[in-house]
Every structure is written in C-alpha cells, then in structure tokens.
Amino acid sequence: MLTSKQRAYLRSLANPIDTILMVGKGGMSQQIINQADGALKARELIKGKVLETADITARQAADEIAQVVGADVVQVIGSKFVLYRENEKEPVIVLPKRK
C-alpha cells in the first residue's frame, strides 16, 4: 500500500512518460494482462489508456489489471491510468520512506 507522499512522487514521475498500454473495444484480455505484467517488471511504472470504444472505464481497467498482476493504482484521470509495482530484484524507482 502506498502512502500519499509516495503516490504523489510516482504521479510526478509518470507525468512525462508515454502511454504504453491501450485497452480497446476488445476489453480486458490475457494479452493486455501479459503486456502490463512485462512492462511493470521492466519499468515499474506504466501509463495506460482506455479507448472510447471500450466497454469498461479507466478505473475498472486499472483495478482489474492491478489486482491480477499485483500492482498499485497510482492515479486514474479521465481515460488514463498509472500503475506501479516494485521490482524486487532490480528496483529502478526509489520511493520516499514511510514514517
């Protein structure tokens, strides 16, 4: 579980990154889950988007992906969402410490 300071830090890191995950009219598929899992393993922080043709909201997509791959939902704004999962072996992002 992320603290508010950690979440704010991750939001600031996510601002300049490109959207790499797209959920379209096919909805959630195993391919999207696998893509998210691989990207989180490599990058730790990813940005996704739910297209207008999709039958689910960005919040639903983010929650479902996060639950399946064991990630945290950092933020959902409009049709975009940001997910974070720490890489246990080779961490790329160092979060602010908890109090």
What's 59-97 look like in SS3?
HHHHHHHHHHHCCEEEEEECCEEEEECCCCCCCCCCCCC
Region 69-85: mean pLDDT is 96
Tens-place pLDDT, residues 4-20: 999 999 999 999 999 99
Tokens of 86: 């720490």
Nearest to 37 by CA among 59, 66, 1: 66
Judge whether 92 lies within some domain: no
When pLDDT is averaged across residues 70-96 and rounded to a whole number, the result is 92
pLDDT at 73: 97
Please report which confidence band the pLDDT of residue 91 belongs to, taking 50, 70 and 90 as the band edges: confident
Whether the CA torsion 5, 62, 24, 22 is positive or negative: it is positive
Domains contained in the chain, number: 1
Domain that holds residue 79: 4-84
What's the confidence (pLDDT) of residue 78?
95
Q: Is residue 60 part of a domain?
A: yes
